[in-house]
Chain A
Amino acid sequence: MIGFILRHKTGLSFILIVAVLLSTIAAQVPAPRHPSVLAWAIYAVFSPLQQTVSYVIVGTRDVWSNYVDLRDVRKENETLRGEIAGLQRENQRLRETLAIVGGLQELDAFRKIFEDLSDRGSQMAMVIGAGVGDSSHTVLLNRGGLDGVTEYQGVICPRGVVGKVVRVGPTSCLVQLVTDPRFAMAARIQSSRVRGLIHGVGERTCELKFIRDNDQVAKGDRIVSSGLEDIFPNGILIGVVSSIQPGEPPFREVDVMPSVAFQSLEWVLIVERKPKPDASEEQIQ
């Protein structure tokens, strides 16, 4: 028996690996995904790497804009070179600081208003990287399980809905953006209060599904979260209607341009999920 196992160890381990992986897939498919130990461990190893990559990219950009780009100016005017470069570096640094502080102040102000109105807690997080898949639209945040982040928490910014947390590591989490083809959330047209389902379609847009031919909708209408699910509170802006086309009767195809510019996203809020009603209250009701 042991001889057989040793003789065929490669083939047997192949079968074992494939079987375990297929079971892992099967376990994830019908039910909502639970945080797996494997994903947790991989995050723990690789998210610091990803953070380093983003620091290196930002650092390289700074070096490029603060040094390499200024070399020609230095050649043209030797005497003013140091002064101009110094001032520009200082200016650039101050602008960057101002932009960061401005962004943070805006987010902090937004956070206070949001928490007052929605009666939910939230925590600020920084975007530290992007996912690696071509078909998925995801970003990585610097808050994870150790900060109390859990799967299926909503992520927003002052401009509107960003997405939702789909994977959580110890110090980082992966956020599925509203443009991701697997993203879906309950939404409504702000003016007519008609309800639908926002669905990512890849590229830079999403689609508002289940809007009937006789429903009131027009180009430029604002689409907001409906609050029917416990991930996002009611009334958070998702985007505006960019085009309406006839679809499969009785529905229409409504394209929505997200209000958030994902490419320039730096700081976001991770929103607490709505607390479930107390069991004793439920029983009383």
Chain B
Amino acid sequence: MRIIRYALLLVAVFIFSSAFRWLFPQAPLPFDLFLIVVVFVALFRSPMHAQLFGLATGLIQDVFSNEIIGLNAVSLTILAYAIASLRQAVMIKAAPQRALAFTFATIADAFLLAGIASAFNLPVVLDPLSLMIRAIANTAIGLIAVLLLQNRIEERQKMERYEVA
């Protein structure tokens, strides 16, 4: 059931991104919906689930954006694993902490992509201004999503734990 929910989330993000590009081919999307959903899943799920979701999301992004296959997948897998593992070690529950996770993830994603690209002699694109705008937009959207859905997700997680017990 959980896998179906993840798949539906991924499909929704893909459809939104593709429709946006279809309607506005020249306008750059100021936020990265793929990254936001990966961080969102990492904030609520185990490192194993998060990294698998990051892998699937990154692969979809790579295949449909003419990137080298694996580039976004590596970055999103590492980020998802790092955030989910950090969440298990440190309490990340308050809104500012979660907001920080989205900001950190956006910046780390850009540097990871640039690092991997330069390691493989691929062209590196790192524009500080657009990165800043993207970090702010990702943080705002991610935080709104967290505030809207966290109670529901936490209740469901409690129910799952109760059922297991």
| Bound-state Cα–Cα, A10 to B15, Å | 30
A263: B residues at CB distance < 8 A: 25-26
Q: Across the interface, name the chain A residue whose C-beta is closest to B47.
A: A10
Q: Across the interface, name the chain A residue whose C-beta is closest to B11.
A: A49
Q: A34-42, A228-236, A276-284: which lies at the B interface? A: A34-42
B78: A residues at CB distance < 8 A: 18
- The contact string, 1 if C-beta is below 8 Å from chain A, for chain B 125-140, is 1000000000000000
Contact of B21 among A21, A42, A130 (CB under 8 A): A130
A/B pair count, beta carbons within 8 Å: 119
A25 touches B21 (CB 8 A): no
A21 touches B77 (CB 8 A): yes
Nearest Cβ distance between residue B112 and chain A, in whole angstroms?
Answer: 11
Interface residues of A in 101-138 (CB under 8 A from B): 129-138
Nearest Cβ distance between residue A283 and chain B, in whole angstroms?
Answer: 37
Contact of B66 among A13, A14, A18, A166 (CB under 8 A): A166
Which of A43, A134, A203 is most buried by chain B, counting CB atoms within 10 A of its CB?
Answer: A134
Nearest Cβ distance between residue B6 and chain A, in whole angstroms?
Answer: 14
Q: Is B92 an interface residue (CB 8 A)?
A: no
A132 touches B69 (CB 8 A): no
| Bound-state Cα–Cα, A137 to B21, Å | 10
A174 touches B74 (CB 8 A): no
Q: Is A50 an interface residue (CB 8 A)?
A: yes
B18 touches A138 (CB 8 A): no
Not counting A138-B65, A263-B26, a sample of 16 additional A-B residue pairs whose C-beta atoms are within 8 angstroms of each other reads A10-B81, A21-B55, A22-B70, A29-B68, A29-B122, A36-B69, A49-B14, A54-B22, A130-B18, A131-B65, A132-B18, A132-B61, A136-B65, A136-B66, A174-B66, A180-B66
**24 sample A-B contacts, Cβ–Cβ < 8 Å, listed by A number:** A10-B81, A14-B77, A17-B51, A21-B70, A21-B74, A22-B70, A29-B121, A29-B122, A39-B63, A42-B59, A49-B14, A53-B15, A54-B22, A57-B19, A129-B18, A129-B22, A130-B22, A131-B65, A132-B18, A132-B65, A133-B66, A136-B66, A182-B66, A204-B26
